[in-house]
Amino acid sequence: MNEYNLLFCIDGSYIDQLKTTLLSLRKTSKPESKIHVYIMMKDSLSGLDALISYCQNLKLTCHPIAMANNEFQGAPVSERYPETIYYRLLAQEYLPQDLDRVLYLDADILCINEWQSLFEMDMNDQLYAACSHSKLTNLTNVINKVRLKTYESEGYFNSGVLLMNLPLLRQEVKRTAIYQFINENTYNLLLPDQDVLNALYGERILSLPDEVYNYDVRKKTTYEFLSKGEWTMDWVLDHTVFLHFCGKEKPWNESYTGRFSSLYKYFAKQSREIVEE
């Protein structure tokens, strides 16, 4: 396989962060591979032209997908449930029909090792492949299963890394079911799109190891404890594919002093230099 499809859903406040993520993906991919970057966004995204130019410099093909203001008319939308929560859940309706799969990533992710074998993996009849942080938060995992009545699923999956089986999603994921679920569970949802993903489709998600594909940088000590000292910093640098800067504290802020901050800032500096050139 020589062509790869990536998906991001952003607003104007995340353009610089997306550039850093894209640089890390380009540096860890095969030089000859063709990478298509699909960006779902509001109709008037400031800085889009500069982002397209940036992608061209990295030999990435950028495909903006502008969402009309009334695109989700009839959907439950509020300050708590903004329109953007539907982008990931309904991406298959807006991506080209000839795409078979796409890898969705949050824009607060840094790629530090080869990722294309994940894109190429056999998904069988699963709708998604994703990671559960259940090893890190066992009690939270139990609470989520009770809260969402997902007793048969392997865990509560994080939606920051999603490999999407587009033909099956087009057949089986219906916006009416999503709207109905949100309307019926309005006061029971904590992380709306992630909760919907787990509640409706949790049993159709192929589980991936989070220490490899969705490493929560806040939990380094927990990872080392659970692995009996195996998943050290050296192990992470050799084996982990995606570092995920979950939570409110972000590595692009000057005040951030969390783990892997230097690594992120190094990529961000390289990204700014490309922009300046």
- What whole-number distance in Å separates Cα of residue 221 and Cα of residue 211? 12
**For residue 5, which of 106, 98, 99 has the smallest C-alpha distance?**
99
* Mean pLDDT, residues 203-228 taken together: 93
**According to the model, what pLDDT value does residue 168 have?**
98
Q: Where are the domains of the chain?
A: 3-276
Single out the residue of 241, 239, 261 nearest to residue 251, CA to CA: 261
Range in 13-17, 54-58, 91-95, 235-239 the model is least confident about = 13-17
What value does the mean pLDDT take over residues 133-159?
A: 57
Check: CB of residue 86 under 8 Å from CB of residue 72.
Answer: yes
Measured CA to CA, the distance from residue 53 to residue 72 in angstroms comes to 30
Which tops the pLDDT comparison, 184 or 149? 184
- Give the residue among 201, 35, 191, 178 at the shortest CA–CA distance from 128: 201
Pairing of the two strands 3-9 and 101-105? parallel
Which pLDDT belongs to residue 151? Answer: 42
Sequence letter at residue 82: P
Per-residue pLDDT, averaged over 131-138, amounts to 68
Write out the CATH class of domain 3-276.
alpha beta
Q: Is the pLDDT of residue 121 over 90?
A: yes
Residue 134's pLDDT is 66
- Which of 29 and 2 is assigned the larger pLDDT? 29
Checking if the pLDDT of 142 tops 60, the result is no
